[in-house]
Amino acid sequence: KRLAASVISLMVGYSNSLGMEAARGSVTMGSCTSSYKKILSRALELYGRITDRRYPIRRMNLSLGRLERESCRQLELFSDPAWEERERRLAGAALKIKKRYGKNALLRGMDLQTAGTAMERNRQIGGHKSGC
């Protein structure tokens, strides 16, 4: 959608039987970005900071905030616009392939292992079993 975000918010909910409140947190990025790698690295950093790994996780919600159009954002001094454009074109090509050939056309290697669930979940309705 050609949007860039500068805030990542994460909510991690634990099992209700534990009686624990959900862990919540947010992090502001240095500047607005639509880069998958930048957003993922900051989200994983936030996850590691707020999550208690001793307890099983039941719910997770990730949201991006302070959205603005990519065309209106200000470039950083040390950013590489050509690299960001290449990443954007690559993501667009992946979306086109999945739209044309189906969600299972592009998979990661870990999804092909015996414990991988991506192919099965792609065949389900909304990622859930339909009751059949």
pLDDT tops 70 at residue 130: no
Contact 50/12 with Cβ under 8 angstroms? yes
Query: CB under 8 Å to 49, separation ≥6 — which residues?
Result: 25
Say how far apart CA 59 and CA 42 lie, in whole Å.
Answer: 19
Would you state the torsion angle of the CA atoms of residues 73, 78, 81, 83, taken in this order, to the nearest 10 degrees? -130
pLDDT tops 70 at residue 89: yes
Backbone angles phi, psi at 62, to 5 degrees: -120, 130
At residue 73, the pLDDT reads 66
pLDDT tops 90 at residue 96: yes
- Percentage, residues of the chain above pLDDT 90: 39
- What pTM, to 2 d.p., does this model score? 0.70
At residue 7, the pLDDT reads 96
Helix (H), strand (E) at residue 26:
strand 23-33
At residue 11, the pLDDT reads 96
DSSP 8-state code for residue 108: -
Q: What pLDDT digit, counting tens, does each position of 23-41 carry?
A: 999 999 878 888 888 899 9
At residue 61, the pLDDT reads 96
Q: What pLDDT digit, counting tens, does each position of 68-82 carry?
A: 887 666 666 777 778
